[in-house]
Structure formats: structure tokens, C-alpha cells
Amino acid sequence: MRSTDSQPLSARPEVTARITAQTGLDEEKLTELVHRFYGKVRADPLLGPIFAARISDWSPHLERMVAFWSSVALMTGRYHGAPVPAHAGLPVEWRHFEHWLILFRETATEICTPEGAAHVIARAERIARSLHIAVEDAQPRTVPSLL
């Protein structure tokens, strides 16, 4: 959706306003969450090198991730990307996703209200499981051919 000064930054403004009232989450909070979380990811010995191998300019990635979380958590429809192909070729197993979730839960708990943290953590856990399945499906099959 195009956003102008006269238009709210949401596809469904009343839904977004209700979520903000219930959770304390808004664009500013999500921006803080994304920036602090990826600060930890970049410094992390397990995940940092995987990101460093693919992302040289962090500004557009962080902007994209704020738009993603705005769509996921506030239902604004701001994100128009494709997360599955972005992860399909990554050298990751479930332990990487688990570690990603540990850092995400920690950051959400530091920054958000308890309701806000629960809201984003539930969604992150769900999406991590789907991305893990997508990564597994993209791996070459090890089942021997019968032919």
C-alpha cells in the first residue's frame, strides 16, 4: 500500500490500532526490536558469519525487516518480499533456528511489554518452523534411487 501524509501507514488502520492498544507495539518499538536483535545476530558466533556472507549493506536489510515485522505483528501489509527463497539455500539446521529464537525472545523481552513480547515471539516461532521446513525441502535428497 502506498503511504502518504494523509494516509495512515496501515492496510487496516483499526486492526493495527487495536493491536497497538493491546500490546504496546508500534512502528517505533518494532524498529528498536529489529535493530537491537540484528545487532546481537551480527555479533553472534553461530549466526553472525551466515549473515555476513550474504549481507554487506545492512541498511536495506534492516528496513526490509522492520517492514516485515510491521506486516506480521501490526497487520499493516508493508512487506512485499519472499522469505522462503531467501532461506532455502542457507547452510542452516534446526539448531540455527533455535538459536535465532533464543536471541529473538531475549530481545523482545528486553524491549517490549509482556503482551508485546508474547505477540512477536509466538509469530517468530511459527515462522521459524515454516522456514525450517522450507530449508529442509530444498536440501538434495539422500534417499537412494530405486532405478
Known binding-site residues for heme equal 61
Amino acid at 133: I
Stretch that binds ligand HEM, among 10-18, 28-36, 43-51, 105-113 (CB under 6 A): 43-51
**Whose CA is closest to 58, among 79, 43, 74?**
43
Q: What nine digits make up the cell of 59? A: 541498511
Stretch that binds ligand HEM, among 28-36, 77-85, 107-115, 138-146 (CB under 6 A): 77-85
SS3 helix, strand, coil % of the chain, rounded to 5? Answer: 65, 0, 35
Instruction: For the segment 102-121, give every residue that binds ligand HEM (CB under 6 A).
Output: none
Binding site for ligand HEM (CB under 6 A): 47, 50-51, 54-55, 64, 68, 81-83, 86-87, 90, 92, 96-97, 100, 124, 127-128, 131
